[in-house]
Every structure is written in structure tokens, then in C-alpha cells.
Chains A and B, each alone.
Chain A
């Protein structure tokens, strides 16, 4: 290798000269903002722009705007992350413009940090607010010591089920463990129904299952990512689902909340949904479901955690923002103040509250739809408290999820199994992360 070094350096030098001109404008250029001095709060009035796909976010912002007279927040709707929203945000940041605040899914936060699109909020004192946030929410915006966004909502996993059919017609009880889940799924299957459906191309359920089992797939150690996607807990989980898939105990024709899913759920053919708590609002639109559905704990393992998380978003302060201090002031209100939380629940229908001790006023009451159950207090809150707080999202999560989705399609198609697919995916993902210069190790 030694004789090659000068030539390589020369090549690299030449390329770097070109690259300096070209890559400087690339959306991938790391934001230098986190190495520069902290921007002090402004003296005068400040106007902030906020891009998100939350519905009626402006009404939430208006509430804040009315509560003080220094900061004005203007919200703009953008398409959901992968439906074009992320491309929009990243290209706006690359162009030096863009909003002050943008919605970024929790799992995509490190990816945005990698793109140089985010301001590290630990430099603006977000660490002091840690106690105001739900620990399960706060853990997801942390990478090492950096705090890359403010959690806006989360999706602690729970089991939503059609109590009417499940308990009434079939005489079953909601499974407390995954082993029971299997037994129950067999019974449901015998009755010609399906316990639940999975979108075969959507890999995002796998991290939820793995984090509940107690694995930490992406573990930051100093400046290295240690991958544990094939560790013992994960393999045990994978083996379980291989069995479920082999016996076709769940349906993989379509995902939850798709048009055919609503039809099947309405007819009482699909009996449950195991996923993020935000599923409640969607299940409430199941035709004729009122009073029939109920909520139970996510089935669990003997070890591991009570629940895993699926979905959830953050509000990130972009690296191009000239008013990060004011942006954080607003987000502190929106994501921890009861007024902010209630406004987000009422107008935008957010998932689980990111605040430490406030789940939202309307969520403290019993629900007519869910069989009169006070499910938020009785079920979701313990689920939210039983999260795997060591879990960290990796950069390039989008590619990882897509890779897992491709793998899952293979499994569904019978070409592979989860136990085979996950180690392969891990190798591919390590390769992808190394290619961009990250240090990666695969745990033994």
C-alpha cells in the first residue's frame, strides 16, 4: 500500500480541488453551524417559519403567538416526510433558505443531522429541559451528547383489538405475552379470521419488535456505531416471527389503515393492530367500530421491555435558522406546556404527548369508541413508561428501513426468513454506513 500513497494523495488532491467547488453546494455538506458561535437571542421581534405535515398547525402556532408578543410563528403544510417533505426541507437547507423549524420523524433525526441540516440544541440549553419531557421521547432525539431536535409526539406500542369479536364471538382474551399471541392467532385463524395484517414492504415494525425485546441495534460508542442487529434478543424475536409467517398466522396482503384494511376491520375479519398509540385516531374511523374496540398492552416477552415505539415525530431547528434560541423557546412551549400539548392534540391530532407529566386534557377521560375504556391512562401511559431508553436511531435510517422492507418482502415471498435476512441486512447496512465514512463495527 505504501507506494500508492503519493499517487492516491495526488488523485485525492485533484478531486478535492474540484470537489471543493462542487460539493460545497451539495445538500450533504455538513452544517458548520454547530461549530460556530451560538447565535444569541434577538432583541427585537422575531418571525419564525415552521414546515410540517401536521394538520392545522397554524392554529397551534396562533395560540402561542397570542400568548406573547415577541415571537410570531408561521406554519406551512408540506407533504409527509417520504412523500416529498424531506426532499423539500433538505433542498431548501442546501439552498441556504428554508424554515426555522421542520417536522422530522424521530427515526430520521440523526439522518438530518448527518445531512448537516440541524442545529444541535444542546448548545441552546435543551439539556436543562430534559426533566420536562417524557424520557421515552427524549431518548429518541439524542445521539451521544448532542440533542438534535425537540420530540413532538411518540408512538408507544399497544394492542388495539376488536373486543366484540375477540372476546364476545371467539371467547378469547387479549394475549399478554407473544407466546399467547401465537396461540390466540391460531384460534383466530381457525375461525377464518386474521389477528392482524402487515404491509410486507414496510420494515418499520422490525425496530419496534427489536427494541421491545431489549436489543439496541445501533449503539454509539465514542465515534463508532456498533451494530447489534443479529444479537440474541433480535434472533429470538426473528425466530418467533418466522414461525408466525411460516404458519401464515398474520396476513401480509395489505398494511393496517389501508382501504382494504378498513373494509376487513369493519367486517370483523381483521381483529387487531399492534402498533403506535397514534393508531387510536385511525381505528376510530373503522366503519361501525364504535363501542366494539378496546386497547390492551402490547404482548411482551419474559425479558425485554413492556413496549416498543413505532413512529412519532420531532420538531427540529434547522441549521439555516437565524433564531435558534427563539425557535427553542416556542418548541419548549409547544411540546411541554399543557396549553401547547392540548392545542396539538385538538388541532393536529398528534400521537402520544412528549411532555413528562401531561398526557393531554382530553386523554384523561374514558373513550366511547373504545368500549368506555380510559385507555390512555390505563394502557398507553404504562406502555410509554415501559420503553427501551437505550435505543438510539442511526443515521441513514431511511435506507435501513427501506432495506428491511425489501428483506421483509423476501421473507413474505418465501425466499428468506427473518433469522437469515437480518444478519444479511446488517452486513449491507454496515457497508452503506462505512461508504460514507462512518465508523462501524458489527457486534459478535
Chain B
């Protein structure tokens, strides 16, 4: 008797919040994405009405070159940055978990520290190291004859990639370390008896067994990449290379709050969410297929 209502009572606060802050906004975004506001008068002083717009907003979003460019930019960013970060996290995790590492706890803490620094503040910190005149790095490179402009139109994407990598490598490394720690010791024993060297242990035991953790980090990184906002937004005032639609999220934000086009902003938000879904599902699918093959 009691246990029939009990789970619902226990779940009630969570579900209410879920409906209110997750489901409802998504529904509203979808509805808005099919609407457009029509104004009359020179500046809408004679009134404004919403009308059903069909797929107009989606078409406009997908033919908006700035928006499609921003998606392509994020794909390029994701392919490079996520790969670099995951490879770095894996190597660091393997090194820290190898018998050769001294003071693993100390290094682990140092690498993980940036995760506790909000993206905005991380960007402010790094911007000090990017801005010519402030940055000792730019100065030092200048002395040896290298003129870099970290905030120049061609460099700034990778300067952002550096900030993201700096922030999340340690976090991803910890996920992988946890997975490495879960590998039972007897597997290593068996490998040792078979005469497997350290490299062979890595490739045939550790890497296959941490695949789930790698998948998780890749999926979260993909979602993170699509959400990129704070770093380019903070840097935009310092770099002429960042326009108001530099990332998909900046574009949606610009349409909502600068261009006053909520329909378009909603359509873009829906496209971003769908893309995150599809990419995550694809990552899972690829992982499962690879897993079955091996």
C-alpha cells in the first residue's frame, strides 16, 4: 500500500523541477521556433503579433551563413580540441598510474586544479597571457623573433581551445584514473606471467578496459564544445576575430538579446540540442561497434 505512493513522493520534487526547468523550456523553445513576430509601423509602434512561421526560422537558421560557419567552426574545434584533450588526459592518467611516477597525488591535484576555476575566470587569467603588452609569453616570444597574436583572427580559436583544454584535461584524467583503478590486479599479474611489457599492458589491457570512461569523456566534451560560450564571449572584446555569431550558442544569444528575433534564437537552440543528441548517439554507436569488433 504505502510503497505504491512512496516512490512518487520521493520523486515529486525532482520531477516537478525537471518538468518546470527542463521539459517546459524545451517545449517553449520548440513552439517559439515555429513562430515569428510581425510588427506594423516603422518601428513596430503600431503593434506586434506572433504568427505561425512553419519552418521559416529553421530555414533561416540553416541558411544563415554565420550560424552554419559557427557549427563548422565548432566541429573543427571539437575534432582537434577533444582529441588533443582526451589523448592528453589518457597519457597523463596512464603515466600517473604507472609505477614510474613519483608523487602522483601532487601532480593529480595540480592537473585537476583548473577544473575548479570557472570558465570565465580561466578566460580572464589566460587573456592576461594573450594580450600584447601584458603577456610575458608574447614578450618572450618577441625577443626570439616570433611575433604571435594569440587574439588574431586565425589564432583565437586555438587560444580558446587552449583554455578549454587547460580547464578540463585534469577532470577527464581523473575519470580515466578512476577507471584504471578499477582494473583488477590479477589481470596485471596474468599479463606479467605472459611476459607482456609495459607498452603491451597499455594497449591490450588498460586502453580496452577504460573504453567506457573514454566514451563518457568524449560525449561530455562534445556537448561541452557545442555549448561553448563564456570563453569566446569574454575574449570577443579583445579580439577582432570573434564576431557575434562565433559559436552556435553565441549566435542564439545574439538573436535573442541583440537582434530581437526569438523565433530564430529558439530554432537555433533546438538545432544545437539536436546536434548534441545526434553526436552523442553517434559517439555511443561507434563505441559499441568498436567494442563488439574487438
Residues of A that sit less than 8 Å from B by CB: 11-12, 14-16, 18-20, 22-23, 26-30, 34, 80, 82-84, 86-87, 90-91, 110-111, 113-116, 120, 143-144, 146, 148, 199-202, 220, 223, 225, 254-255, 258-260, 395-396, 398-399, 402, 405-406, 435-438
Contacts and interface: CB of A to CB of B under 8 A. Distances in A.
B37 A113 contact: no
A436 B253 CA distance: 18
Contacts of B37: 23, 26, 28-29, 436-437
Interface stretch (B1-9, B42-50, B156-164, B169-177): B42-50
Interface residues of B, number: 46
Interface of B: 28, 31-32, 34-52, 56, 60, 65-66, 131-133, 149, 233, 236-237, 240-241, 243-245, 253, 256-262
B42 A225 contact: yes
Given A90-B257, A116-B44, 19 more contacts: A12-B51, A16-B49, A22-B28, A22-B50, A27-B256, A29-B48, A34-B45, A82-B244, A83-B236, A87-B258, A110-B43, A114-B44, A115-B260, A144-B42, A201-B243, A406-B66, A435-B56, A436-B39, A437-B48
A255 B240 contact: yes
> What are the nearest 4 A-B pairs in CB distance?
A437-B38, A15-B52, A19-B50, A87-B257
A91 to B, nearest CB: 6
Given A15-B51, A115-B260, A201-B240, A23 B35 contact: yes
A87 B256 CA distance: 8
Contacts of A225: 42
B253 A87 contact: yes
A16 B51 contact: yes
A19 B240 contact: no
Given A225-B42, A436-B37, A82 B51 contact: no
Identify which of A14, A26, A83, A254 gathers the most chain B CB atoms within 10 Å of its CB: A26
A241 B256 CA distance: 34
15 contacts: A19-B35, A19-B51, A19-B52, A22-B35, A23-B262, A27-B257, A27-B262, A30-B44, A90-B257, A116-B44, A143-B43, A148-B43, A220-B42, A437-B36, A438-B42
A125 B256 CA distance: 33
A396 B56 CA distance: 19
A405 B262 contact: no
A259 B40 contact: no
Contacts of B38: 436-437
A293 B272 CA distance: 51
Identify which of B31, B39, B256 gathers the most chain A CB atoms within 10 Å of its CB: B39
Contacts of A406: 65-66, 243
A223 B132 contact: no
A30 B47 contact: yes
B221 to A, nearest CB: 27
A26 B132 CA distance: 41
B159 to A, nearest CB: 15
A395 B51 contact: no
Contacts of B256: 27
Contacts of A437: 36-40, 44, 48
Given A27-B257, A437-B39, A199 B243 contact: no
Contacts of B132: 259-260
Identify which of B38, B40, B43, B48 gathers the most chain A CB atoms within 10 Å of its CB: B43
